[in-house]
Structure 1
Amino acid sequence: MGAEQKKSVSKIQTTYVKQQEYAEIASARKKKLLARRLTMFLVLASILSYLMISSSISQTAKLKTKMAQKKELDHQLTELNTQQDILNENIIKLNDDDYIAKLARKEYFFSEKNEIIFNIPDEKEGK
Structure 2
Amino acid sequence: MLGARKEKNKSSQIASINTDYVRAVVRKEQRQRAHRVRLYRRLAVFGILVVLTAIGIGSMMFSQTKTLAAIEQEKAEALERLEEVQEEQEILKHQITKLNDDEYIAKLARKEYYLSEDGEIIFAIPEKDKKGKENKDGKE
Using the size of structure 2 for normalisation, the TM-score is 0.82
Q: Offset of 1:85 from its aligned partner?
A: 0.3
- Flag as ranges the 4+ runs of structure 1 deviating above 6 A: 123-126
Task: Go from structure 1 to structure 2 and tell me whether the alpha carbon gap of 1:2 and 1:91 turns closer, same or farther (over 3 Å shift).
Answer: farther
Number of equivalences: 127
Show the 5 A alignment for 1:23-62. 23-62=28-67
Show the 5 A alignment for 1:102-117. 102-117=107-122
Q: Distance in 1 between matches of 2:103 and 2:3?
A: 128
Amino acid across the alignment from 1:88: K
**Superposition CA RMSD, Å:** 1.9
Where in structure 1 are there 5+ consecutive unaligned residues? none
Larger fraction in helix: 2
- Greater gyration radius: 2
Q: Distance in 2 between matches of 1:35 and 1:67?
A: 47
1:80 aligns with 2:85: yes
Q: Distance in 2 between matches of 1:3 and 1:111?
A: 134
Q: Offset of 1:112 from its aligned partner?
A: 1.4
Using the size of structure 1 for normalisation, the TM-score is 0.90
Q: Offset of 1:90 from its aligned partner?
A: 0.8
Amino acid across the alignment from 2:41: R
* Percentage of matched positions with identical amino acids: 41
Q: Offset of 1:64 from its aligned partner?
A: 1.0
